[in-house]
Amino acid sequence: MKLPRRQFLHLAAGAAALSAVSRIAWAQTYPTRPVRIIVGFPAGGSASDIVARLMGQWLSERLGQQFVVENRPGAATNLATEAVVRAPPDGYTLLFVTATNALNHTLYNNLSFNFIRDIAPVAGTIRVPFVMLVNPSVPAKTLPEFIAYAKANPGKLNMASSGSGGGPHVYGELFKAMAGVDMVHVPYRGNPFPDLLSGRVQVFFISIPAAIELIRTDKLRALAVTTATRQEVLPDIPTVGEFVPGYEASAWQGIGAPKNTPAEIIDRLNKEINPGLADPKMKAQLVNSGGSVLALSSSDFGKLIAEEAEKWGKVIRAANIKVE
C-alpha cells in the first residue's frame, strides 16, 4: 500500500523524534557498566597516567560506574590510539589524548588510522608548560644573550631531546627556526639530564615540573618559558615570545572517544569532566601534577587538536624530522 506523501512525512518525522528521544534517554542512563580510559604511557610516574587516574576517580564518583585506567604503552602512544579507534563507539572505551597524538599525525605515514578523523574530542584536562634550560657553562644569562651567542657559534651548541619527533625536539626546532640559530639535535632514548648537568649537551626544552628542582638549586639555568604568558611557579622567568615574537609551545592533555560515539554521550562526559576541572581539590591535584586546567567544550577541544596538528606538522616537515 502506498502511503500519501503527507502521512509518510509525518511517520518519518515521528520516527526521527523517537530515535532522538531514545538517544537522549540512553545518554541519561550512561554508563551502565565500567568504562575504560586507555593511556598510551606506562603506569605510575608520568603526568598522563596521574591525570588520567584523577579524572577516572572523579568520573567514577560522579557517574556511579568505575572508570578504569588501562595502560597500553608502546609505539609512541599509537598502540593505545589504535585500540580505541577499533573499539565500539558506545562510550565505554575512551582515549587519554595528549599532544603526542597531534605530533604523530604527521610523524607516522603508515598508521592504520587517522587520529584527527577517527578520534572524537570529548574534553580537555590540562596544559603543561615547558621551559628552555641551559647548562650554567653557557655564557648567556638571558635569552637575547643566548641567541647572540648561538648565532656567533653556529653548530657548536647541542640541543638534547627525549627522542626525535617528541615535544622537546619539535619545540626546540621551532625555536631554532624562529630565532635563526643553528644547534645540533642530540636525541636520547633515556634521560638527557645527566649529560645536560655535565655539559655534554647544553640546551634542553622540557616540562617545568620535570626541571623545577634543578632550576631552584641553580644546577641548570632557565632562560625562558615556552608558554604565551609567564608561569606563576617561575614568575621571574620571561617567555620566549617576549624576545621571539609569536613563539609558543606547550603540551596538553584531554579525553577522546571513537568516532561516531553518540553526541549525547560526548556531551554528558564533557559536562561531568569540566566541573572536575573547576573543583578546588581536583584543580589543586592537577596543578601539582604540573599543569594548568584546560576546560573546553568538545568542539573547542577539537579545534585545539586540529590547530596543534597543523602547527607542528609544518615544523616537522620543515625540519625534515623522521622517527627513529
What CATH class does 129-242 carry?
Answer: alpha beta
Considering only CA atoms, give the Rg of the chain.
23
Contacts of 99 (CB under 8 A, 6+ apart): 167, 250, 251, 252, 253, 308
Which pTM does this prediction carry? 0.88
Amino acid at 245: P
Domain formed by 34-128+250-318, architecture: 3-Layer(aba) Sandwich (3.40)
Domain spans of the chain?
34-128+250-318, 129-242
Contacts of 44 (CB under 8 A, 6+ apart): none
Geometric angle at alpha carbon 95, from 99 and 44, rounded to 5°: 80
Amino acid at 249: A
pLDDT of the chain, 324 residues: tens digit per residue = 455 666 655 655 555 544 444 455 556 789 999 999 999 999 976 789 999 999 999 999 999 999 999 999 999 999 999 999 999 999 999 999 999 999 999 999 889 999 999 999 999 999 999 999 999 999 999 999 999 999 999 999 999 999 999 999 999 999 999 999 999 999 998 889 999 999 999 999 999 989 999 999 999 999 999 999 999 889 999 999 999 999 999 999 999 999 999 999 999 999 999 999 999 999 998 888 778 999 999 999 999 999 999 999 999 999 999 986
Helices (H), the chain: 5-29, 47-63, 78-85, 99-107, 115-118, 143-152, 167-179, 193-198, 208-216, 263-278, 280-288, 298-318
Domains 34-128+250-318 and 129-242 share a fold: yes
